[in-house]
Structure 1
């Protein structure tokens, strides 16, 4: 649709927004591809339940199983404006932008080389995901599991098991925490 001619009011409203603006509204619908927000200010959307749209990765810093872990239809929320989606004529929003990033806090307080305990979340071919608490999940790569045969480096870890790990690398831009096993003499 040509939003500029079909919905000049909405186009003008969206064009007036700037990245970082805080917008308030009500969760209008939760779909399989994202969350629609009916904004307090500005006109309604001609097709969608709301002018605001939050993609799932923008809901929370933490891993979530379902959007309803974070929001419910009818809930009042404030979000940060990310960009004007001219194709869908909507305001792309972020809920997590208004929350402190737990990885940043973890990086500030955790020196590389620190030993800590974590809980095995799941085992995959590349290694073991370990929950370190506070929404931080680190990866213990499969090549780094001393005392285990190389052919099956990640077998033997079970979900829910508590293990000792060492923080090997914290990479905030890639949102990654790499772990290793403590070296025992």
Structure 2
């Protein structure tokens, strides 16, 4: 976005005291998780975005703001991966209510 650009957004709140009006661009878009549910069981390849003590976060969509979720250490086995590595995983399950995606290596 650029200064002066017109956008359509949802008003989230009006804070008269602080003279602020928080807006949301995402609120007007369809929820992509139900569409992703159709891909359960499919293999997807994505980059490792973050390594944590209990696993690695993998981005499973092509865009920089795509979905990412945890691939638990138990799924990594002896593989030593680093941020930026491409990893192939399967979408095992999606919990739309909790907004969670379960990934597995599916070996």
Q: Residue 167 of structure 1 corresponds to which residue in structure 2?
A: 91
Give the CA deviation at 1:110: 1.4
* Runs ≥4 residues deviating over 6 A: none
Separation in structure 1 between the aligned mates of residue 94 and residue 105 of structure 2, nearest angstrom = 15
Separation in structure 2 between the aligned mates of residue 127 and residue 87 of structure 1, nearest angstrom = 44
Q: What do the CA deviations read for 1:109-160 (whole angstroms, capped 9, x no partner)?
A: 212x3333222222122311111124121210123223x2xxxxxx711222
Give the CA deviation at 1:86: 4.7
Structure showing greater relative contact order (alpha-carbon pairs closer than 8 Å, 6 or more residues apart)? 2
Give the CA deviation at 1:87: 4.2
State the TM-score, normalizing by the size of structure 1: 0.48
Number of equivalences: 104
Contact in 2 for aligned 1:102/1:136 (Cα 8 Å): no
Aligned 1:145-184 pairs, distance under 5 A? 145-146=76-77, 148=78, 156-183=80-107
Q: 1:87/1:142 Cα in 2 relative to 1: closer, same or farther (>3 Å)? A: farther
Q: Per the alignment, in what secondary structure is the counterpart of residue 88 of structure 1? A: coil
Compare CA radii of gyration and give the structure with the larger one: 1
Contact in 2 for aligned 1:79/1:98 (Cα 8 Å): yes
Hey, which of these two has a bigger chunk of helix by percent? 1
Give the CA deviation at 1:91: 2.9
Aligned: 1:81 with 2:11: yes
Q: Per the alignment, in what secondary structure is the counterpart of residue 75 of structure 2? A: coil
Separation in structure 1 between the aligned mates of residue 86 and residue 103 of structure 2, nearest angstrom = 14
Q: Residue 25 of structure 1 corresponds to which residue in structure 2?
A: none
Aligned 1:7-18 pairs, distance under 5 A? none
- Give ranges in structure 1 of 5+ residues lacking alignment: 1-70, 149-154
Aligned: 1:136 with 2:64: no
